[in-house]
Chains A and B, each alone.
Chain A
Amino acid sequence: MKLSMAFIIFLLGFNLRAFASDMTGGYNHEMHLQKVFKVNSIECSHCHNFNLDPKGKEVKLNQAATASVLKMPLKEICHECHRSEIARYKDAPKTCFTCHKTMENIKRIKPTNHENISWKTTHSIEARVQGESCLNCHMTSQCSKCHLERNDIEMRNHPKNFRFFHSVQARGQPQRCDACHTKTFCVNCHLGKN
């Protein structure tokens, strides 16, 4: 326990700065202006809600202007470069985490199938087919919480009463036990080793 407390205090010693939870909180306009827009000759009106006349000397308010200062939804503006495969934008970081950094913003792009009630118990086949894409948002230390960590105080992946009727389900779907356990797990209780 002393060690764990020491570890926690050690972590707290990292004076980690809070940052804006809003999506635009991490957007650096000046950096984009100097290193992206000027270099690639991208005009202000490419994103903002006004037009330049053909000679580029006069600014004209967009007749379809709304209260927004942007021409398109923010998502579309960012994704135009950050999700593009066009060679011109090849240097723009493509990982979702470039902008979606906070828990709040990561949840905004949570895939539809993750919302399904059964997702927790049926995601294995998706992970087998495209495991790489899990790592776009998740870190492997998140998987281990359910898949690896074991304790005998509470069951994390089974309902409370499962222990008393698991023999019924194990005889109905014996392959499901193999996903996490081997014979040792059965022997520990049934042959009184634990």
Chain B
Amino acid sequence: MNYPLFITVLFFSFLSINCQAGLFRAESETLNSIRVNDKNKTEAPTYEFVSASFVNEKRDFEINSDFSMFADPTGNASNKAYLYIMDARYSVVPDFMTIRCGRSFDVVNTVGPSSVDILSAEFYLMNKQVRLGAFVGIERKLESFDSDLHSNIAGVRADYHSDDRQPLYLSTKFEQRVNVSNNNSMEDLLQFSGKKPLPGAWNPEFIIDSVSDVYNSNLNRLEFGFDVYPSIVTFSKIRFMTYDVLPQTGIEQPIFSLFSTGPLYEGRYQFEKKLSPKFTGSFSVFYDDYLLVGTQRTSGLGGEIEGKFLHDSGTKFNNVVYYFESYGGTAIGDRIGAQTETSKKNEFYGLLDMTYYEKITSSRRGAFTGEAGWTRYLGQKFKLTLSAQASSNNVLKEDFRSVARLTYLLWDEI
């Protein structure tokens, strides 16, 4: 079957049926690399990503699509394609009921964002301050083109937001999952979340989010904290989290349970200040503590210091110094990047990433990656980026790569 062409025709069929004024966005990106693999054979993986969305003027009709194709002209891998999104949303009864169907990336109905084949209905009450929803679907997780993990899911939700300039947001969701790819393991997820900004000094914004698995009597996640703005140029974020997912649940065994056998506690802090109109500095730290095995706990800590600078010439610079430490070892590094626009049609960028690490595998050495690229705008909508990358690390002493990326970008009114 001519899969991409079928999707394209389907998308534009929807669009032509509902041909109205609205906002249209399309993006096509082609990535290609030529490399020699570990069997000393040349391979040329080529990816094509195409996404498009349309929403009409009244915003009561919307369609989205996103798919990818993979090919290797050298014949070292078979051609593949995958559909990420192909969904439509329509307001059946204006200001009261909306339905959505198709393969979607959902941030509204499901507990946590997910890629899902969904049929959902949403109802609005009290001038849309209250929203009630229900859905059924199949959640999919794509880890490689050869695996398609999925769960059967169904759920309901209720959201409320107050009608003032510092609105209170409250949301609760219930989702039942049968993880088909994981021996039909069951989860009944219950989510409560809320957010409330307060006016006045420092303008604090409180936020909380919790997910419990009531079927397995487990608190999967609880995160809470607040953001404060001591001045118009200063920002600070504090977060606390506990996290614990069971190894036998989930669409597949969670990575967390490969390392941990019990609850994790995390604290994070970030401070950011716009020191001048052209320079912003940021500082962030985290500390994690979790159950490793038996009664033995372990911890991880790290942080970043980041600066962004805009030079009078229009060149942007950024620098990040980072540090991570765990029982897996330590890593310290520096990322430096610069980007300049030499004309309206040409951009150049360069970046360096230098890391020194010591790992429990006794590997002690540095990794270096340098990349330089040139972006050329072709006409109004095309963007061609050519880049060359050199790196040295514990896997390859010398590694040279070049990447060509052709992007077609369209964001327009029709």
Chain A residues within 8 Å of B, Cβ to Cβ:
1, 3-4, 6-8, 10-12, 14, 16-19, 26, 85, 93, 95, 97-98, 101-103, 112-113, 116-118, 122, 124-132, 134-135, 139-145, 147-154, 159-161, 163-165, 167-175, 177-178, 181-186, 188, 194
Contacts and interface: CB of A to CB of B under 8 A. Distances in A.
Contact of B357 (A139, A168, A177): A168
B194 interface: yes
B20 interface: no
Contacts of A141: 25, 27, 51-53, 64-66, 85
> A-side binding surface: helix, strand, loop or mixed?
helix
A160 B144 contact: no
B47 A16 contact: no
B33 interface: yes
B350 interface: no
A1 B143 contact: no
Nearest to B325: A172
Nearest to A174: B259
Contact of A4 (B69, B113, B327): B69
B131 interface: yes
Contacts of A165: 324, 329, 331, 333, 355, 357, 359, 367
A116 B328 contact: no
Nearest to B357: A165
19 contacts: A1-B30, A1-B46, A7-B28, A16-B412, A97-B55, A117-B282, A130-B171, A141-B66, A145-B27, A159-B335, A160-B351, A164-B357, A164-B393, A165-B355, A167-B329, A173-B266, A173-B288, A184-B143, A184-B149
Given A141-B53, A165-B329, A167-B328, 5 more contacts: A140-B104, A140-B107, A151-B45, A161-B391, A165-B357
B105 A182 contact: no
B174 interface: no
A175 B243 CA distance: 7
B30 A4 contact: yes
Interface stretch (B249-257, B309-317, B339-347): B249-257
Contacts of B46: 1
Contacts of A159: 322, 335, 353
A125 B84 contact: no
Interface residues on B, range: 35 or more
Contact of B207 (A103, A126, A186): A126
Interface in B35-69: 45-53, 55, 57-59, 62, 64-66, 68-69
B270 A118 contact: yes
A144 B410 CA distance: 17
Contact of A173 (B2, B68, B163, B286): B286
Contact of B4 (A3, A112, A149): A3
A142 B107 CA distance: 12
A159 B354 CA distance: 10
A174 B209 contact: no
A106 B299 CA distance: 42
Contacts of A188: 143-144
Given A7-B8, A131-B108, A154-B403, A174 B260 contact: yes
A4 B394 contact: no
A125 B207 contact: yes
B163 A85 contact: yes
Contact of B59 (A97, A113, A153): A97
B301 interface: yes
Given A171-B259, A174-B256, A183-B253, A113 B227 contact: yes
Interface in B242-288: 243, 245, 250-256, 258-260, 264, 266, 270, 272, 280, 282, 284, 286, 288
Nearest to B335: A159
Shortest Cβ-Cβ A-B pairs, 6 listed: A172-B300, A172-B326, A171-B328, A131-B107, A165-B331, A139-B53
Interface in B223-251: 223, 227, 229, 235, 237, 239, 241, 243, 245, 250-251
A182 B254 contact: yes
